Structure 1
C-alpha cells in the first residue's frame, strides 16, 4: 500500500481508531481500486486486484454491540463489462465488510478482505420499465434503531433523467444475512458474512471469488423522485414540525450551481425553494450538511458558501412561509421565523387560511 491514503476527493470514514478510505478510477498504477482499512502503521486490510472501473460514493458503519459485530457498508458504482448494448453502462452496488477483518492467511488473501459480500441496488419503476443505474450520491438518515436507518440514493439513467430511491437498512442487512449467492457453489462454514477469525482454506477460496448475493436490494417503494433536472449531489435532513410530525427534506444540486430544497410527502415530493448560492453559474463540487445547526455548506472550484436552512427572512413580512410549506419556518403573527411549537404551519397543504384563522395573517 506504500502509505497511500487515497485522493482528497475520495470517500473516507474515521471511526474509533480506524480509518477506512477508498480509491476509485479506471485503473490505478499506484494502488488497487477499492476499500482500504488502516488502524496503525502496519495494521491494514486492502482489496483484491480487479481490473474494472469503480467509483466509490459513501461509507457507513454500524459498530454493533461487540467488537467483532461491527459492519461497514460501501456504496459505489461499477462499470458493466457486458458487451450487450441493451445492458446498462454502470451497475450500482453496496458491499458489506466486517470491521474486524484483518485479512486471510499468509498464502491466501493475506492482508486482503475475507468478509466482503456484494449486492446490487435497484432503482426504477418495473411497471413502466424505467431504471436508473448510475449511482451519483448517497445520504443517510440514521435512526436510534439501526434497522430503521434510511439510505437516500441519487441516480441518473442513460437519458440524464435523475431519480432518488430510498432504502431501509433492515432490507440491506437481511439480504446479506439470508439471501442465497449467485454462485451455484454453496458457501462453506462459517457462513459468509459472519465476523470470525478462524477461516478455513475452503472458506477463503470461496471468499476470494468476491461472492455476490442473488437478490437485488430494492427501495421501500418506487422512486421517491423522478426529474428532468440533472441533479448532481444529495443531502437529506430530518425536520420536526410544530405538530411533532417529522419531515424529510432533500437538498439537491443542479448542474448550473443552484440547489433545490424539496420536502418529502406521501403524495410526492414538493420543491419548497431554489437557492442560488453563487453570483454566477458554476459547477458545485461538494455539499455538506450540519444537521445540528441546519447549515448547508456548498463549494465550487473557488468559493465556499454557507446557507442557513432556517433563514425565513426570504418570505418577507407576510405569511408566505405557510404557503411554501417550509417545515423550517412558521408564521409568528408578525413575520416568518424559525419554527417553534407556537408557530403557524401547514406543511401538508400550505393553506393560507390558517394564518387568518389563527393570527389574522397579513
Structure 2
C-alpha cells in the first residue's frame, strides 16, 4: 500500500475510511533489494517491479490516470526477471529473460527491448487489462571472440533533432566481470520489430522461426485488437531478429566495474564540434565519458538516478545538484586543454579555464577562449639521487593519463643495464657509467612533456637544489624521489600543437 508519513506525529496518513491512499502492489517492490523502475507520463505511472513478496513474479504495469490499469500477464511468463525502462511513447524496456534454450545448458540471461505503446488500452475479449503491444527482441552487446555482455542494468533514450531517438544501455557480463555501454538507433529497433517472429515448438522445447502466414494487422500495433491477432501475440511475442549496437560493438568496455545508471547529453565545443557525453554511475562515483575523440573518465559523488541539464544525483540520503562543467579544477592552460573536457575551454585574458555551455561561438573567439595550447615548459629542476654502487634504484614514471604513451630517455652508456617494469618504472643497477640524466617522457595528442626527471650521481654528491621540500617528500623511498615537471601554456593559447581535447598529469578529468 502507498501512503505518506505525517512528520508532526510520525504517523501514516490514511483516507477517511482508514485505508491507505493507494494500493502499491505492482507499482513498487515488496523488498528494497528487488530491482524496480518507474516513469510518470501525462499523469500515468509506468512501473516495472516484482508483483509478489517472493520476488519471482516480475510485472510491468500502467496505473493512475483515468484509463484502464494494464499489466503483463504473469501466466504467459512474458517476463521472468525484473525490467529496466526509460523513455515515453514507444518506450524501450529491458529484461533479463530466462527463456528456454535449444540445448539443456544452464539458464542464461538474455537482454530484450520491449516496445509498449502509450496508447495501448488492452483487449476487449482477449488480453483484457493486459498489454496488447508487448513484443520482445534481443539486444546484442558484445565484442568479437569474447563473452557477451548479457545482463542489462539501465537504459536511456536521447532524443535527436530529427524527432527520433538513440538508446544507450549499460551491461555487465555474468562470466567476465566487466561492464560495457552500447548504443542503438530507433530505426534499428523498429526494423527488428517489423521482422519475423519466433515460436516455441512444444514437442522439442525449441524456439524456431515462425513460418506461417503473416498476421494483419501485425501483433504489437494498437490496431491489432482482433481476437485472432491477440491470440497470436500471446505465443509469438519474441522477435527472430536481434538488435545490434551502433558500429557493431560497445562504445565503452571496462573491467572490474558495474555501472548502475546512465544518462547522456550533448554539448558543443567552441570549435563547433558536437559531443555526446555519457555520465555513468557506479558504487560511489560518477564517470563522465565523451566518445569522440577517445574515451576519458572522471569521478564525482555517489548516484542512483541521473537527470541532465544540471546533473541531479539521487542517492539513499537525498538528491545532489552537480554542475556539468567544473572547469575550475583545471588550473593552467595545459590542464584545461589536455583535460579533454568538452564543457571547458581556456580563457587567455583572465587566465582561467571557463565553461563553454551556452557560449556564443563568435564571442568565444573574441574573448580568447581556446582549445589549443602552446608547447609545454618545465618549471622545476630534476630530482638528484646519489645511490651507493651496486645498489638497485627504481625510478617511477607516474601514469596520470591513460591516453598518453610513455618512454624513457637515458644515458647511452646505461642501455643494456636497465629493466622496464609493466608500470613503466625503470630499474637501474648503479655501476660505473650509469650516472646521468633519466627522463620519463609522455606524449599525448601532439603534446610532449616530462613526467619525471632524475639525475643519478655518484655516492656522496649533493642532491639537486631546485626542488621544493614537499616535492622531495613525494617519494616513499630515499632512493627514488620523483620530480614532476609542471607544463604551462603561454601567449593567447592559440599556438602550438592541436589538442582539441587532452589531459595533463594530475588533471582530475571531466567534471
With structure 2 as the length reference, what TM-score do the two structures score?
Answer: 0.59
SS of the aligned residue for 2:238 comes to: coil
SS of the aligned residue for 2:120 comes to: coil
Instruction: Kindly indicate whether residue 247 of structure 2 is the aligned counterpart of residue 231 of structure 1.
Output: no
In structure 1, which of residues 100, 113, 118 is the aligned counterpart of residue 136 of structure 2?
A: 118
Q: Larger C-alpha radius of gyration, 1 or 2?
A: 2
Name the structure 2 match of 1:168.
Answer: 185
Instruction: Kindly indicate whether residue 187 of structure 2 is the aligned counterpart of residue 180 of structure 1.
Output: no
Name the structure 1 match of 2:410.
Answer: none
Name the structure 1 match of 2:109.
Answer: 90
SS of the aligned residue for 2:187 comes to: helix
Name the structure 1 match of 2:159.
Answer: 142
Name the structure 1 match of 2:276.
Answer: 248
With structure 1 as the length reference, what TM-score do the two structures score?
Answer: 0.81
Distance across 1 between alignment mates of 2:277 and 2:98 = 31
Change (3 A) 1:200 1:80: closer
Change (3 A) 1:231 1:321: farther
Unpaired runs of at least 5, structure 1? 63-70, 278-283
Change (3 A) 1:169 1:86: same
Instruction: Confirm or deny: 8 A CA contact 1:323 1:351 kept in the other structure.
Output: no
Distance across 1 between alignment mates of 2:138 and 2:492 = 51
Task: Quote how far apart the aligned CAs of 1:316 are.
Answer: 1.8
Instruction: Kindly indicate whether residue 153 of structure 2 is the aligned counterpart of residue 128 of structure 1.
Output: no
Instruction: Confirm or deny: 8 A CA contact 2:86 2:157 kept in the other structure.
Output: no
Name the structure 1 match of 2:170.
Answer: 154
In structure 2, which of residues 59, 68, 93 is the aligned counterpart of residue 43 of structure 1?
A: 68
Distance across 1 between alignment mates of 2:324 and 2:340 = 14
Task: Quote how far apart the aligned CAs of 1:80 are.
Answer: 4.5
Instruction: Confirm or deny: 8 A CA contact 2:113 2:139 kept in the other structure.
Output: yes
Distance across 1 between alignment mates of 2:132 and 2:263 = 32
SS of the aligned residue for 1:188 comes to: coil
Task: Quote how far apart the aligned CAs of 1:82 are.
Answer: 4.7
Task: Quote how far apart the aligned CAs of 1:246 are.
Answer: 0.9
The Cα RMSD (Å) is: 3.2
Task: Quote how far apart the aligned CAs of 1:290 are.
Answer: 2.5
Name the structure 1 match of 2:337.
Answer: 322
Task: Quote how far apart the aligned CAs of 1:120 are.
Answer: 0.7
In structure 2, which of residues 296, 318, 324 is the aligned counterpart of residue 309 of structure 1?
A: 324
Matches within 5 A, 1:51-70: 51=77, 53-62=80-89
Post-superposition, which runs of at least 4 consecutive aligned residues in structure 1 deviate over 4 A? 27-32, 80-88, 346-355
Name the structure 2 match of 1:216.
Answer: 242
SS of the aligned residue for 1:174 comes to: helix
Name the structure 1 match of 2:434.
Answer: none
Task: Quote how far apart the aligned CAs of 1:75 are.
Answer: 2.3
